[in-house]
Amino acid sequence: MSEILRIAIQKKGRLSEKSLAIISQCGIKFGSDERVLKERATNFPLEFLYMRDDDIPAYIRDGVADIGIVGRNEMDEQGLPLVVLRDLGFSKCRLSIAVPHDFPYSGLKSLEGARIATSYPNILKGILEENTVSASFVEVSGSVELTPAVGIADAICDLVSTGATLAMNGLREVETIYTSTAVMIGRPEMGSTAKEAILERLLLRIDAVMKATSYKYIMFNLPVEHVQQVSALIGGLKSPTVTPLLSEGWVSVQSVVGEDRFWDVFEQLKELGAQGILVTPIEKMTE
Q: Which residues bind Mg ion (CB under 5 A)?
A: 53-54
Binding partner of residue 10 among Mg ion, ligand ATP, none, CB under 5 to 8 Å per kind? ligand ATP
10 sits near ligand ATP (criterion: CB under 6 A) = yes
Binding partner of residue 96 among Mg ion, ligand ATP, none, CB under 5 to 8 Å per kind? none
Identified binder of ligand ATP from the candidate list 73, 96, 147, 255, rule CB under 6 A: 73
Q: List Cα–Cα distances, 2 to 24, 196, 245, 257, 272, in angstroms.
A: 22, 13, 54, 41, 57
Classify strands 5-10 and 46-51 as parallel, antiparallel or unpaired. parallel
Identified binder of ligand ATP from the candidate list 54, 173, 196, 207, rule CB under 6 A: 54
Identified binder of ligand ATP from the candidate list 19, 22, 41, 71, rule CB under 6 A: 71
159 sits near ligand ATP (criterion: CB under 6 A) = yes
**β-bridge partners, 108:** none
Among positive and negative, which fits the CA dihedral 152, 155, 158, 160?
positive
125 sits near ligand ATP (criterion: CB under 6 A) = no
Q: 83-122 mask for ligand ATP (x: CB under 6 A)?
A: --------x-x-----------------------------
Contacts for 59-65: CB closer than 8 Å, 24+ residues apart: 59/8, 60/8, 60/185, 60/186, 60/187, 61/187, 63/187, 63/191, 64/6, 64/8, 65/6, 65/7, 65/8
Residues forming contacts to ligand ATP in the complex (CB under 6 A) are 10, 13-15, 52-54, 71, 73-74, 91, 93, 159-161, 180
